[in-house]
Structure 1
Amino acid sequence: MSFSPVLGTSITNTKLRTPEYVSPFSGMCAVCTENCLGPCEIGLSATRGDEATNPYKSDVNQFASQKNYPLDFSHFNINGRVFGATNCDEDPFLATFPKANLNTYFGIKNKIKLKTPVILPALAKLNWQDYFAGAALAGTIAFIGESVVDKDPGVIFEDGKVSRSPLIEDMVNAFRKYYHGYGNIVLQANYDDEYLGVLDYAIEKLNIKSVEIKFGQAAKGIQGFGRLDSIEKALMFQKRGHVVYPDPSDPIVAENYKNGIGQPFQKIGKLPMWNEDILVKRVAKLRELGAKRITFKTGPYDPKDLIKIIKIASKAGVDLITFDGGGGGTGHSPAKMMNEWGIPTVYMESLLYDILSRFKEKAYSLPQIAIAGGFTMEDSIYKGLALGAPFVDFIAVGRGNMAAAFVGKQVEDSLKKGRVPKDYKRFGESKEEIFSNIKQLKEIYGDKATDIPGGAIGVYSYINRISTGLRQFMALNRKFELKDIDRSDIIPMTDLAAKVSGLPTFNDLVNKELKSI
């Protein structure tokens, strides 16, 4: 049985000639005929070469792994309890699911209040305006993604460092416009951003108080790369200090380009070359500049590296580490990397539980922990909080919130054109009738709530639905504070899930309880 997808997928805009007859170990059609035009992945590669490694139109699409991992959160069920109530009076009129408290905080010494443990991981493309605004409406954290200055036509450099980025300003203001005492906007930087002084600029000029250092380039691990459509752009990025291949300043390369010879120019992200000393000093410098909360973002690397990152974070006094499991993502990865690289989320979180338990035994000071990687609805989010308890504070939901922003925007755009989408006509014909959560937003923003962009309302409403579901699961387990969620709240349904997580099965629990009869 193969867990990997076949060589035809909408991610790369490819298809198989006979998808019903596939060779599972290669992903090819079982019969490959000489008169086939494709375009399976091999056919696309035959015409486009290395361009075919990337997802299709990543500027307007988002993506995730299609690999059918042998273990995910569907292999666990959520427990439920009949007796008692924790952190709530045993009163049926009081112990109701709306009373389950999701309020939490971000930061170790300089705490920020949040309304939910659901946070929005780094984004710097697509409908970012509503993504960040929606996070502010929901009262949670949102992260501005890497390499914003490379996308900013108005960016200004002085002595090789960023002195102004209107695009970063706009992203920050998209959140701040709807800030109401909860949540925070965090700016992320990769190795190239650090080279360009992006965080220094944001702290000193934009009064950003929360920043993130990203371990890895692009989607967590691979070197980011993107084609440049002219030698002028290649020279511009090279002058800024980016690695460009082939070298556009080489006269031979330039002459070949003029004559239509050679490979396209690519801007290649630098692999971070950090160590403990560099990172500890950098965190201290960021605090000296004025940062109040500093976070790390890493992918599902070798466990040895994950342990080292936690050690460095502990020594440097980092506030939060986000660990991003294999399988998630938004589309900056090559397609095969999304499928075949890293530790899938359940495996990674189970490893982290053991690792963090050991750190706690050794009396290390630990940062807050967030887990990302394929979470969308309240069931998987609750399971993620439980599997990593008591160490996991947040679940990062990227693709789901992006999708909510897309839908909310499209619905409002249709209404502005006088068209009510047929699937929503049953709710009404006006914005306020279709977006039912506007009534709740009026409690904060008054009548101006109806003017909030539909995409931002979409994000708020989606998080509201998730938060309601989390409260229901908490009440199901008679737990009314986030800190009460623990590993006993989920039960592995398969031998593999039990082995990887170390959790007892229903049979194990029964056998234990039988001894008390």
Structure 2
Amino acid sequence: MERVLRNSSYLNAMSTTSTRTRVRDVNPQSGMCPLCIRDCPSLCEIGLSAFRGREVLYPDPAYFGDSTASSLKDYGLDWSHFNILSRLVGVEGVDPDPDKMLFPNASVETSIGGVRVKVPIAMGAYGSTDIARKYWDGLAVGAALAGAILIVGENVCGVDPASEFSNGRVVRSPEMERRVKLFKEFWDGKYGDIAVQTNIEDQRIGVDEYVISKLEVNIVERKWGQGAKAIGGEIRINSLERALELKRRGYLIIPDPEDPDVQQAFKKGLFKTFERHSRVGSPIKTSVIEDVEKLREMGAKVVTIKTGAYRPADVAWTMKVASEAKVDYITFDGAGGGTGMSPVPMMNEMGVPTIYLESLILKAARILREHGKYVPDISMAGAFINETQIFKAIAMSNFGDGPLVRTITTGRSPLTAVMKASYFCELAEKGELPKEFVRRFGDKPEKFFILTDELRAEYGDAVGREIPWTAVALYTYLERIKDGLKQLLAGARKFKIDLISRDDLSALTPLASQVTGIPMVHEVDSDIFESILS
């Protein structure tokens, strides 16, 4: 009952939109207060919509550019419904020697689409939303130092006010240039890399050719969708001039900034931001194959696809087309994950949740393999934040020939690490850190970032300057994930991440077992349990 109430209550009150109901015991079907009264001081979804209309479809506009958002619906199945099986007898990936079976000796290095990574993580895609631009220094430098993949998201060139065009094609984007160059400045050239994601708008203005030829980007990612929404990229614009400029560049702007009545309403303050929307596509197999070939001819070394939480038939179609096009890897993004700006009802109610989605992908991959077809590497996305989820998603994909899921793509958690660091460093400068935080960790970044000395031993005085504290924060967060994964690997006695498999998991609920085929705890090892004793 608790889960049902929790799922229904958000219909009319969500922290995402800063709405609330007057009472907590809401109607389980509508989410409305059982007794709705005229003189209620609270603004529920219905009440706020009466004043702000379509604006309430989105996360609270006041926080755009300084926040990320996600679904808050309980889908009835998540990674907590599985446990990792620890092991006593036997070990793989290291000699069975207690002096070698130490968790720091476990390796979490792997590769996806031929790209080696120190930790099985890709981050992004961070596109034209203000939050990506504001915190790019920490994201780029931190990802490069950690040896992970970082993805520049869609529409960056199209939205960059300083972009230069010739015959409708971008020839320079200072913002894109800044993003790529900053990562490469701290990249070792061996682990991780920077990818540029392109949608229909980007393709129309030639972003692929620009980033490959001018910025020497190795990885191009075609975007077909994301888990948070099934429509194009969206941002808010707080300037009439910018809204007009982006409409001239071909974007859909709501409301129409060229409408005199809209201009007057904006100047009066009746609304404070415009919405910029991107087009959606419907890919065709032949054009996808030709497109991938063209990207390789341009010089792209790795070609990937980013797609969303679409219906099962679309998962099968995507896997088939990606196989025929020989893309290097695909990122599938499950419902429940994050965004810079997406319709809240769509985040909650549309799409296939992550575990269901991965199960469909694995089914498609096995069918392709049975028919002797090429299967691209997979990166899973959709509300991942820690090492236990990463372990489970990768292990679930290994049927005995190595994991099909090679990395996890995450967006919100790296941004949270960077934003938190930015805020606390700002508080430290003002002398306004919480007293308990100072007591526990210190009053300066040099003290409260635990890896300061370790990083300074390698990078010297650059730490805290060229390497901003926000990058130190991201690096530290990823180090936690790396060490956490190593501990889990040692506990499963699998000392290389590519060795973990479905045999290392158990399901805790019948639904988890039914969806994934992972046996429940009482079913694990049932075929050998008695034989061991007899």
TM normalised by structure 1 equals: 0.93
Aligned counterpart in structure 1 of residue 148 of structure 2, from 134, 140, 150: 140
**AA paired with 1:177?**
E
Cα distance, 1:268 vs structure 2: 3.0
1:406-425 matched pairs, under 5 angstroms: 406-422=419-435, 423-425=437-439
Aligned counterpart in structure 2 of residue 25 of structure 1, from 9, 22, 29: 29
1:279-428 matched pairs, under 5 angstroms: 279-389=288-398, 390-422=403-435, 423-428=437-442
Question: Are 1:167 and 2:175 counterparts?
Answer: yes
Partner of 1:62: 68
8 Å contact 1:77–1:490 — kept in the other structure?
yes
8 Å contact 1:220–1:298 — kept in the other structure?
no
Aligned counterpart in structure 2 of residue 187 of structure 1, from 196, 202, 205: 196
Question: Are 1:38 and 2:51 counterparts?
Answer: no
Separation of aligned partners in 1, 2:248 and 2:520:
59
Partner of 1:493: 508
User: What SS class does the counterpart of residue 68 from structure 1 fall into?
Assistant: coil
User: What SS class does the counterpart of residue 195 from structure 2 fall into?
Assistant: strand
Q: Over aligned residue pairs, what C-alpha RMSD do you find?
A: 2.3
8 Å contact 1:190–1:217 — kept in the other structure?
no
8 Å contact 1:217–1:269 — kept in the other structure?
no
Cα distance, 1:379 vs structure 2: 1.3
Separation of aligned partners in 1, 2:415 and 2:449:
17
Separation of aligned partners in 2, 1:290 and 1:489:
40
Q: Aligned in 2, Cα 1:139/1:99: closer, same or farther, shift over 3 Å? A: same
Q: Aligned in 2, Cα 1:472/1:87: closer, same or farther, shift over 3 Å? A: same
**AA paired with 1:69?**
Y
Q: Aligned in 2, Cα 1:430/1:47: closer, same or farther, shift over 3 Å? A: closer
Cα distance, 1:321 vs structure 2: 0.6
**AA paired with 1:103?**
E
Partner of 1:72: 78
Q: Unaligned stretches of 5+ in structure 1?
A: none
**AA paired with 2:425?**
E
Partner of 1:49: 53
Cα distance, 1:435 vs structure 2: 1.1
8 Å contact 2:229–2:346 — kept in the other structure?
no
Q: Which runs of 4+ in 1 moved over 6 A?
A: 246-249, 261-265
Cα distance, 1:35 vs structure 2: 2.2
**AA paired with 1:168?**
M
Separation of aligned partners in 1, 2:143 and 2:102:
26
Separation of aligned partners in 2, 1:462 and 1:394:
17
CA-to-aligned-CA distance 1:297-318 (integer Å, 9 cap, x gap): 0111011111111222222221
**AA paired with 1:30?**
P
Q: Aligned in 2, Cα 1:96/1:59: closer, same or farther, shift over 3 Å? A: same
Partner of 2:252: 243
Separation of aligned partners in 2, 1:259 and 1:463:
48
User: What SS class does the counterpart of residue 11 from structure 1 fall into?
Assistant: helix
Separation of aligned partners in 2, 1:371 and 1:456:
24
8 Å contact 1:369–1:391 — kept in the other structure?
yes
Cα distance, 1:131 vs structure 2: 1.4
**AA paired with 2:442?**
G
Q: Aligned in 2, Cα 1:510/1:482: closer, same or farther, shift over 3 Å? A: closer
**AA paired with 1:506?**
V
Instruction: Give % identity.
Output: 39
Cα distance, 1:239 vs structure 2: 2.7
Question: Are 1:176 and 2:184 counterparts?
Answer: yes
Question: Are 1:198 and 2:207 counterparts?
Answer: yes
Separation of aligned partners in 1, 2:441 and 2:257:
57
Aligned counterpart in structure 1 of residue 87 of structure 2, from 81, 106, 126: 81
User: What SS class does the counterpart of residue 193 from structure 1 fall into?
Assistant: helix
8 Å contact 1:191–1:217 — kept in the other structure?
no
Cα distance, 1:42 vs structure 2: 0.6
Separation of aligned partners in 2, 1:501 and 1:193:
37
User: What SS class does the counterpart of residue 177 from structure 1 fall into?
Assistant: helix
CA-to-aligned-CA distance 1:69-106 (integer Å, 9 cap, x gap): 11101111110000121021110001111111111223
Partner of 1:114: 117
Q: Aligned in 2, Cα 1:486/1:243: closer, same or farther, shift over 3 Å? A: same
Q: Aligned in 2, Cα 1:217/1:345: closer, same or farther, shift over 3 Å? A: closer
Partner of 1:123: 126
Count of residues paired in the alignment: 509
User: What SS class does the counterpart of residue 370 from structure 1 fall into?
Assistant: strand
**AA paired with 2:99?**
F
8 Å contact 1:218–1:224 — kept in the other structure?
no
8 Å contact 1:378–1:467 — kept in the other structure?
yes
8 Å contact 2:138–2:468 — kept in the other structure?
yes
**AA paired with 1:113?**
R
Separation of aligned partners in 1, 2:16 and 2:25:
20
Separation of aligned partners in 1, 2:497 and 2:239:
53
Q: Aligned in 2, Cα 1:324/1:493: closer, same or farther, shift over 3 Å? A: same
Q: Aligned in 2, Cα 1:339/1:217: closer, same or farther, shift over 3 Å? A: closer
Partner of 1:460: 475
Separation of aligned partners in 1, 2:385 and 2:110:
20
User: What SS class does the counterpart of residue 163 from structure 1 fall into?
Assistant: strand
User: What SS class does the counterpart of residue 28 from structure 2 fall into?
Assistant: coil
Cα distance, 1:259 vs structure 2: 6.2
User: What SS class does the counterpart of residue 294 from structure 1 fall into?
Assistant: strand
**AA paired with 1:307?**
A
User: What SS class does the counterpart of residue 153 from structure 1 fall into?
Assistant: coil
Cα distance, 1:449 vs structure 2: 2.9
**AA paired with 2:152?**
I
Separation of aligned partners in 1, 2:339 and 2:505:
28
User: What SS class does the counterpart of residue 143 from structure 1 fall into?
Assistant: strand
**AA paired with 2:345?**
K
- Of 369-378 and 169-178, the range deviating more from structure 2: 169-178
Separation of aligned partners in 1, 2:227 and 2:493:
42
User: What SS class does the counterpart of residue 468 from structure 1 fall into?
Assistant: helix
CA-to-aligned-CA distance 1:97-139 (integer Å, 9 cap, x gap): 11111112233xxx33311102212113422221122111111
User: What SS class does the counterpart of residue 59 from structure 2 fall into?
Assistant: coil
